[in-house]
Chain A
Amino acid sequence: MDIAPDRRAAREAARRRHARRGSVVAAVSSVVVLGGLAMLIVSSPGWEDVQRTFFSWEVFRDSFPDVLAGFWLDVKLFLVVEAVVLVLALGVALVRSTRAPALFPVRLMATVFTDVMRGVPVILVVYLIGFGVPALGIAPDWLVQDPIYLGGIALALCYTAYVAEVYRAGLDSVHPSQRAAALAVGLSETQAMRHVIVPQAVRRVVPPLLNDFISLQKDVALVAILGPQEAFRVAQISAASDFNFTPFLAAAMLYLMVTVPLARIVDRQQAKARRRQGHVVAT
């Protein structure tokens, strides 16, 4: 406030100069590093072979429609599982946050559930549920005959555990005084949770939640082991039939088309959260 105007102008000019120099250095170093890598790869003796087997435009064009049709299955599965996970995980997190002694067994179950589901590889859970539940012989026919249901259930269980922990971190991050204040103004425990703590907690954990979404969007491909022809499997089939791996590239592109925009949304949400908390945001 009491800084002289010319000194402030000089400081800002210096800052701008510094920023300009920074972008020039970034550009040059990008060109050198990436260009060097690209040249190394393109000039390697196997490049032509790699280009033919991985970057064949004809194969890409032929396989893309089938892979896209398979990817649609991934997207649908992702959306349904995600909705289920968001609800279930909040439930598990709330159970773990309860304090009543009578609820101890429920808390214990919730804890064991998250520990086990987070500790086991997703592919194993998909396998065990996808082939194990039908083997019991008690599941109804509709559940057994469409692998999408069991695959979806397996993914939902795994991701519920991850997301419940994210929610719980959010709940814990709300200062205890918030709860105390809510109780002081006459809200019940449940009302305090519902109207004061959960809204603040959820707001805080949006970036990590989106992060888990991205992870789930990729992991839906694991359901392929149960037989449905989703994007990865379709790519695998067409790669196996003509010994060309380009279809995998088509599948990878489709996954990226969903995950990269999601990643940018996470970035923006995180920046917003930092701004809200009064930090300066570096761009």
Chain B
Amino acid sequence: MPKIRRSILAVVLAAFATVALVACGDDDETASPTTETTALACEKADLALVTPGTLTVATDSPAFPPYVIDDDPTSGKGFESAVAYAIAEELGFTAEEVTWIRVPFNSTFAPGPKKFDFDLNQVSIKAERQKGADFSSPYYTTPQGVLVAGDSEFAGATTLTDLKDAQIGVQVGTTSLDAVNEVIAPGKQVRVFNDSNDVVRALKNGQVDAIVTDLPTTLYLRDAVVEGSTLVGQFEAPGGDDWGAVLEKDSELTPCVTAAVDSLRDSGELASITEQWIGAEAPVLALE
């Protein structure tokens, strides 16, 4: 009899299993960005541009800080605006030779011809998106951000050690949980919620002292969702999204933009742009 019961159990579980498997079929793996290391002809005169002589760069309308300050990308103020001008300079363009256009987020990586040479709009590099468009190598990898209530005792935290005694909340299935456990290693077991609404609710209610999400989300939550909250800082953690410039599928310009981004990264200029615009919003939390 016990044997039969066990097989009944196995059968029932297998049936559930099959249903669950079918329901959980999607996954979005981050694929490596397009990199071609053939000899590049990235001379300014040889570039295949939408409008010859000028570099046409796209971003969303409206564009938000800290990516674009005051919704004016031509100012060079804001992270993505600054990155765009830095890439332009690498390619040999002056600031006057850069034109901006506005393209909604979803149509940036939709298949088809593009009205821009490249687009900077916090677009994560994903295999699915690479079917319809090219991506440069990443100019940014999202770190984790820590958000607390403005009147919290942790609002003045400057190091990860300062957060050790905080009750931290995260959303289930995100990389934030691993990041918190590995990097902060808090004394209190992390609270894990079903979705970001519940995480935010718990922070507003004082049920958790701090919440951890990827930094762009933290910025959004601070500015638009949790009134009076404080972004105490950011920390590096594995598994962040890579953002790349979007180009037309199989564009000849892709390897050139990638080379420009790589060169900015190697020279340290990318790091200093990141520090200037995003670090100002969210200081890097020191390990000690």
> Which A residues are closer than 8 A to B by beta carbons?
30, 34, 37-38, 41, 46, 49-50, 53-55, 131, 134-135, 141, 144-145, 147, 224-229, 233, 236-237, 240-241, 243, 245, 248-249, 252, 256
Looking at chain B, what size class is its interface with the partner chain? 35 or more
In the complex, the chain B residue whose C-beta lies closest to that of A47 is B14
- Contacting residues, chain A, for B61 (C-beta < 8 A): none
Q: Does B44 sit within 8 A of A, measured CB to CB?
A: no
Least CB distance from B185 to A in Å reads 15
Query: Are B11 and A38 in touch, CB under 8 angstroms?
Result: yes
- Contacting residues, chain B, for A46 (C-beta < 8 A): 18, 21
If the complex has contacts A241-B178, A245-B20, are A225 and B194 also in contact, measured as CB distance less than 8 A? yes
A-B contact pairs, 25 of them (CB 8 A): A30-B4, A41-B14, A41-B15, A46-B21, A50-B14, A54-B20, A131-B202, A131-B207, A134-B206, A144-B205, A145-B207, A227-B169, A227-B192, A227-B193, A227-B198, A227-B207, A227-B208, A228-B189, A229-B189, A233-B172, A233-B192, A240-B173, A243-B27, A245-B21, A256-B9
Least CB distance from B184 to A in Å reads 16
Which B4-24 residues sit within 8 Å CB-CB of chain A?
Answer: 4, 7-11, 13-15, 17-18, 20-21, 24
Q: How far is the CA of A70 from the CA of B169 in the complex (A)?
A: 17
Query: Are B191 and A227 in touch, CB under 8 angstroms?
Result: yes
Query: Are A147 and B191 in touch, CB under 8 angstroms?
Result: yes
Q: Mark B181-221, 1 if CB is under 8 A from A, else 0.
A: 00000000111111000100110111110000000000000
> Which B residues are closer than 8 A to A by beta carbons?
4, 7-11, 13-15, 17-18, 20-21, 24, 27, 167, 169, 172-173, 177-178, 189-194, 198, 201-202, 204-208
Least CB distance from B240 to A in Å reads 16
- Contacting residues, chain A, for B192 (C-beta < 8 A): 224, 227, 229, 233, 237
If the complex has contacts A147-B207, A227-B202, are A240 and B191 also in contact, measured as CB distance less than 8 A? no
Least CB distance from B7 to A in Å reads 5
Query: Are A237 and B14 in touch, CB under 8 angstroms?
Result: no
- Contacting residues, chain A, for B208 (C-beta < 8 A): 227
A225 touches which of B10, B15, B173, B198 (Cβ 8 Å): B198
Query: Are B4 and A34 in touch, CB under 8 angstroms?
Result: yes
If the complex has contacts A50-B18, A236-B172, A240-B172, are A249 and B205 also in contact, measured as CB distance less than 8 A? no
- Contacting residues, chain B, for A37 (C-beta < 8 A): 11
Query: Are A54 and B17 in touch, CB under 8 angstroms?
Result: yes
Query: Are B173 and A131 in touch, CB under 8 angstroms?
Result: no
Query: Are B204 and A135 in touch, CB under 8 angstroms?
Result: yes
Q: How far is the CA of A256 from the CA of B11 in the complex (A)?
A: 15
In the complex, the chain A residue whose C-beta lies closest to that of B191 is A227
If the complex has contacts A135-B205, A227-B202, A227-B208, are A145 and B167 also in contact, measured as CB distance less than 8 A? yes
Q: How far is the CA of A228 from the CA of B207 in the complex (A)?
A: 11
Query: Are A53 and B13 in touch, CB under 8 angstroms?
Result: no
In the complex, the chain A residue whose C-beta lies closest to that of B14 is A41
- Contacting residues, chain A, for B13 (C-beta < 8 A): 54, 249, 252
Sort A-B residue pairs by CB-CB distance and give the 4 closest, nearest first. A227-B191, A134-B205, A240-B173, A54-B17
Q: How far is the CA of A38 from the CA of B9 in the complex (A)?
A: 11
Q: Can you add 16 more A-B contacts, CB < 8 Å, to A41-B14, A54-B20?
A: A34-B4, A38-B10, A50-B21, A131-B198, A135-B204, A145-B206, A145-B207, A226-B207, A227-B192, A227-B207, A229-B191, A237-B177, A237-B192, A245-B20, A245-B21, A256-B9
Q: How far is the CA of A254 from the CA of B178 in the complex (A)?
A: 25
Q: How far is the CA of A131 from the CA of B10 in the complex (A)?
A: 37
B10, B17, B208: which has the most chain A beta carbons within 10 Å? Answer: B17
- Contacting residues, chain B, for A144 (C-beta < 8 A): 205-207
Q: How far is the CA of A49 from the CA of B17 in the complex (A)?
A: 10
Q: How far is the CA of A225 from the CA of B202 in the complex (A)?
A: 11
Q: How far is the CA of A229 from the CA of B189 in the complex (A)?
A: 8
Least CB distance from A73 to B in Å reads 10
Q: How far is the CA of A131 from the CA of B169 in the complex (A)?
A: 14
- Contacting residues, chain A, for B17 (C-beta < 8 A): 50, 53-55, 245
If the complex has contacts A38-B7, A145-B206, A225-B198, are A236 and B21 also in contact, measured as CB distance less than 8 A? no
Least CB distance from A201 to B in Å reads 34
Q: How far is the CA of A240 from the CA of B167 in the complex (A)?
A: 22
- Contacting residues, chain A, for B8 (C-beta < 8 A): 34
- Contacting residues, chain A, for B4 (C-beta < 8 A): 30, 34
Q: How far is the CA of A38 from the CA of B198 in the complex (A)?
A: 41
Q: How far is the CA of A147 from the CA of B18 in the complex (A)?
A: 33
Query: Are A131 and B201 in touch, CB under 8 angstroms?
Result: yes
- Contacting residues, chain B, for A54 (C-beta < 8 A): 13-14, 17, 20-21
